[in-house]
Amino acid sequence: MNFSYHIQPIEDSVLRIDLKGDILEKSQTQDMMIAVDQLLLDGRNNYLINLNELNYMNSSGLNSLVALLTKARSNSGEAVVFGVNERIEKLIILTKLNTVFSLYKTEAEALQAIKEQTA
C-alpha cells in the first residue's frame, strides 16, 4: 500500500497529521516534511500524529516520526502520537521510542496532553 498524509489545523498552533498506508522509504515522507516546515513559519509547532490508518512502517517511518518530534521541539512545540496499531506499537516499544514519544489511544487524549505540555 502506498503512503499518504493529510495535515489539518486543529487549534491555534496545533496540527493533526494523519498518516495512511505504509512508510518504507524516507522519500515517501519528503513532501510531508516540506509542508510541516512551511507551517512552522506560521507558528504551527504542535503536532497530533494520527497513526489510525498507518498499516506498517520500518526504520524510515520511525525516522520520520523522530523528525516531526525534533521539528516541533526545536520550535518550542511538542508532538504526540495517537491511534497506534499493535504492530507499530510493538516496533515503537522495541526501539524504545516509547520513552521519547507520548502515545495515546484517542485524539481527545492526545489533544489534552498537548495542551497540558505546552501550557
Compute the mean pLDDT over every residue in the chain, rounded to the nearest whole number: 94
The ranges assigned to domains in the chain are 4-118
Q: How far apart are CA 103 and CA 92, in angstroms?
A: 10
Identify the band that residue 117 occupies on the pLDDT scale cut at 50, 70 and 90.
confident
Q: What cell numbers appear for 78 in the block?
A: 511538542
Identify the band that residue 91 occupies on the pLDDT scale cut at 50, 70 and 90.
very high
This prediction's pTM: 0.94
Q: How far apart are CA 110 and CA 119, in angstroms?
A: 14
pLDDT of residue 49: 97
Phi, psi at 96, each rounded to 5°:
65, 20
For the domain bounded by 4-118, which CATH number is listed?
Answer: 3.30.750.24
Q: For residue 5, is pLDDT > 90?
A: yes
Q: Taking residues 26-39, report their average pLDDT.
A: 95
Q: For residue 29, is pLDDT > 90?
A: yes
Q: For residue 119, is pLDDT > 80?
A: no
pLDDT of residue 118: 78
